[in-house]
Amino acid sequence: MFCFATLWVIVFLSAPTLSAGWVWDTGNALGFAAMAGLLFLSVPGGARLAPRQHELIAYGLVILVAAHVLWFLLLDGAVVQYLTTDAPAYMWSGIAAAILVIVLVLLALMPTRLSVHKTFGRFRRWHRAIAIVAILASAYHLIGSGLYLQSPMQAALLLLLCVLVIFGRRVLVQTARVKVPVFVAVTAASIVIFVTVRLVD
Amino acid sequence: MRIAIPILFLSIVVLAMVGTPVLGEKPELAHHYNSPEPILPMTFAHRDHTDTQCIDCHHNYVDNTGVDSCMSCHVSNAEVWPLFEEQFHALCMDCHQDLAKQGKPSGPVRQCQACHLQDRLP
């Protein structure tokens, strides 16, 4: 789970114990977990990540994204203003990333995939291209909001991680077989760590 | 998932349109402080900021760029109005976060609704 570990290290480089309360931190932990999941799914798995596991983890990613949005809409009455046309670009970038994740999943489902793409190669190219745009949109959402990534070094490291995932397919290959329960456990543990470290202070 | 995704998407749209049923007071967009465009309310209490130097916020005390309250210029001056959100987020959040990082009592550091409520305090 290189993506989770690296992203969490980057997040905790600046003011690791600065808490905004468990409600706010949990909502953002869901968002960071979604970003880590998106990066994880973009790392080539080869035979080690079976298509069915990739599909199930992608469903988990959609749930994380939805939970991130619903959490804030439910528990912070001001956040809804970030869904209006006056919202800053980094929020629109987050909305675009969320929609792209949903598009990625819907267009990969059978029989939609066959009706949209004539060949598997064509599907893969489009799937990968949309995933790259989703990753970059998510990165801008995290960096632009500046809530947890506050230093230029954190921003640079996040971009480096994204570039590594996008272009480092020859060096960054999943070395362990990851199944859905493992992914769920790592996600849950990451969220708990994100919140509790800040509550301890 | 073919059913779950539309349901999740629909619940987000409904929640965004009708507002949260969980919270009591919700900030409403309006022409607060006679702003040219609708903005969220902001709560600020001078009595909570007595440890802060006046000129940390009231720059006009030393640079003579304005009189009266912050809002008298920052919502009416065509040059600074476009920077309103950015400037006030930076002014309030940076200071609160600096205090929190030093382990001192601070106001809200990230939460939107903690500040964006109707102002009632002196």
Q: Dump pLDDT digits (tens) for A23-74.
A: 999 999 999 999 999 999 988 765 566 788 888 999 999 999 999 999 999 9
A160 touching B (Cβ < 8 Å) = no
Question: Among A137, A24, A11, which Cα is nearest to A72's?
Answer: A24
Work out the minimum CA distance from B61 to partner chain A, whole angstroms.
30
A5 touching B (Cβ < 8 Å) = no
- Cβ atoms within 10 Å of A37's Cβ, excluding its own: 26
Residue A153's Cα: distance from chain center in Å?
Answer: 20
Nearest Cβ partner of B113 from A76, A86, A147? Answer: A76
Least confident of A127-136, B21-30, B102-111: B21-30
Nearest Cβ partner of A76 from B4, B37, B112? Answer: B112
pLDDT of residue B37: 86
Alpha helices in B1-122 (DSSP H): 4-18, 54-57, 60-63, 70-74, 84-101, 112-115
- Cβ atoms within 10 Å of A12's Cβ, excluding its own: 16
Question: Within chain B, how many helices (H) and strands (E) appear?
Answer: 6, 0
Tell whether the model's pLDDT for residue A185 goes beyond 70.
Answer: yes
Q: Which residue of B has its CA nearest to A14?
A: B101
Residue with tokens 């990613």: A61
Cβ–Cβ of A20/B110 closer than 8 Å?
yes
What is d(CA A161, CA B8) in angstroms, rounded to the nearest whole number? 29
What is d(CA A18, CA B100) in angstroms, rounded to the nearest whole number? 7
B116 touching A (Cβ < 8 Å) = yes
pLDDT of residue A91: 93
Contacts of B112 in chain A (CB under 8 A): 76, 78-79, 81
Q: What is the mean pLDDT of residues A167-178?
A: 69
Least confident of A19-33, A126-140, B55-69: B55-69
Cβ–Cβ of A80/B110 closer than 8 Å?
no
pLDDT of residue B103: 83
Q: Would you give the end-to-end CA distance of chain B in angstroms?
A: 52
Cβ–Cβ of B101/A15 closer than 8 Å?
yes
Residue A52: Cβ-neighbour burial (10 angstroms; 0-12, 13-18, 19+): exposed
B8 touches B1 (CB < 8 A): no
Q: Would you give the end-to-end CA distance of chain A in angstroms?
A: 27
Q: What is the mean pLDDT of residues B17-46?
A: 84
Contacts of A76 in chain B (CB under 8 A): 20, 23, 111-113
Q: How far from A185 is each of A4, A60, A181, A188, B49, CA to CA, in Å?
A: 12, 12, 6, 5, 44
